[in-house]
Amino acid sequence: MKKHNRCIQTVTTFLLLISIFCSWPGASFAAEKVQLDVLYMNHGPMRPTVAKVKALVKDFGDRVQAAWYDFDQPSGKAFMAEKKIVGHVPMLIMINGKSDFTLGQRDVKLQGFPTGAGPFKRVEGNWSLEDLKLLLEQHLR
């Protein structure tokens, strides 16, 4: 009987310690990979932005799983149909299936050229490469 009670006490203590560890502030486990889907127009003005986004994504290594969809190719058209995207979209970036986010006090839509990178204002979005980086980091926490 004493041996049985000691076993129960040991198991209970072990479970309590595991519970404390898992709820401890700052205790974290590896985040799942982030799925990044990028629909883009493979045209001259967009190519520098695509290259910058690819470089940024590369910095995250295998933690970000990126899929690239050229607007003019069958894979891009299939992606647009699947996501019900219509119209002329220079670039649309989705993180885990979403393109609309809140960063601080502002709403960010990962669509169009990054602010300041477009050939003219009406094709620019309200996001920057730094915004994209912050959003990816948030999703990896």
Give dist(CA 89, CA 133) in Å, integer: 21
What per-residue confidence (pLDDT) applies to 27? 45
Tokens of 95: 């993180």
Tell me, yes or no, if the pTM score tops 0.85.
no
What per-residue confidence (pLDDT) applies to 89? 87
Tokens of 132: 């994209």
Domain positions in the chain are 34-139
Tell me which fold the domain 34-139 belongs to: Glutaredoxin (3.40.30)
Amino acid, single-letter form, for residue 28:
S
Q: What is the mean pLDDT of each run of 10 residues along the chain (141 residues)?
A: 64 55 50 89 93 96 96 95 91 96 94 81 84 95 84
What per-residue confidence (pLDDT) applies to 5? 63
What per-residue confidence (pLDDT) applies to 58? 96
